[in-house]
Amino acid sequence: MQQLVAELQRSPVGRVRLQEPLAPYTTWKIGGPADILIVPENREELAAALALLHRHGVPWHVLGRGSNTLVADKGVRGAVVKLGDGFDDVRFEGNTVTAGASYSFIKLSVVAGKEGLTGLEFAGGIPGTVGGAVYMNAGAHGSDVSRIFQSADIVWVDGSEATLTGEGMNFSYRHSVLHEKRGIVTRASFRLEPGDRKEIAAALASYKDRRRRTQPLQEPCAGSVFRNPPGDHAARLIEAAGLKGLRVGGAQVSPIHANFIVNLGGATAEDVLALMGRIQRTIEDRNGITLVPEVLLMGEL
């Protein structure tokens, strides 16, 4: 590990920080330190960093805006890669919008609407980055990334690069090829359609208002904790089981939205995991349904 750190520090890979606490980088405000945090500012730095990690056989994780992620209390062994501001850009060409992987997905829906382009309204309530949205095939309100996706630039685990179109992404519900083959999205393009700016703004405002009324946005949380099972909703199952308000340590099933777990203050990753386990066992016993986590687990959990 010392040799790797030395090589990283003298190589063009961006900022390198050791034993960096990750809780401030997550929306749950939970998590211990990463052995190594690497913050590349461009595709070349990212490729160089991944190539070095690959050559040394050191595991790594990627961290976007920290939503949808639970980091272990003991932190993350190996490296965590967080794309820097060099990936936070957007451009429009006709009906196509291209954004860097660290660009806010919510913000992208807003700026597209201001350009008079429709198709991204569903993203108005999805926290996180463009890269994370592509990775998860994020969706809401009856649409998802796959329906508007055009292409993505990717740096693979060995530092090699590729551009994939829709077929190559192997999209399905909350799934992409990046769950099968390790890599990091650096940029993505989406095909949109001309639309009425006022109608788009009204739809975004409606989604925002609904999100404000139905989600615990004033408390640290990570978005939906479990995937919706086929033909049902995780929140409905959890609420019907009387689990709203259930608490373990500093973690609580939100009284506002049953598929959200909030950090009431001082919650640990172990608190969240224990609460998730109790929810899963209850729904399994009550409904015969196994709830699958939607949040990504990172580190020694």
What SS3 class is residue 222?
A: coil
Q: Which of 20, 45, 121, 294 is catalytic?
A: 294
Structural contact between residues 106 and 67, judged by C-beta atoms closer than 8 angstroms: no
Compute the Cα dihedral for 80, 86, 88, 90 and give only its sign: negative
Bridge partners (DSSP) listed for residue 36? 18, 79
Structural contact between residues 97 and 149, judged by C-beta atoms closer than 8 angstroms: no
Q: Which of 20, 45, 102, 174 is catalytic?
A: 174
Q: Which of 67, 62, 32 is nearest to 225 (CA)?
A: 67
160 classed as catalytic? no
Q: Which of 102, 151, 224, 254 is catalytic?
A: 224
Compute CA distances 296 → 136, 268, 277, whole Å. Answer: 10, 15, 15
Query: How far apart, in whole angstroms, are the C-alpha atoms of residue 192 and residue 293?
Result: 31
Residues 6+ apart with CB under 8 A from 186: 43, 46, 83, 87, 100, 101, 131, 153, 154, 155
294 classed as catalytic? yes
Structural contact between residues 261 and 294, judged by C-beta atoms closer than 8 angstroms: no
Q: Which two tokens stand for residue 72?
A: 């272990």
121 classed as catalytic? no
* Residues identified as active-site: 174, 224, 294
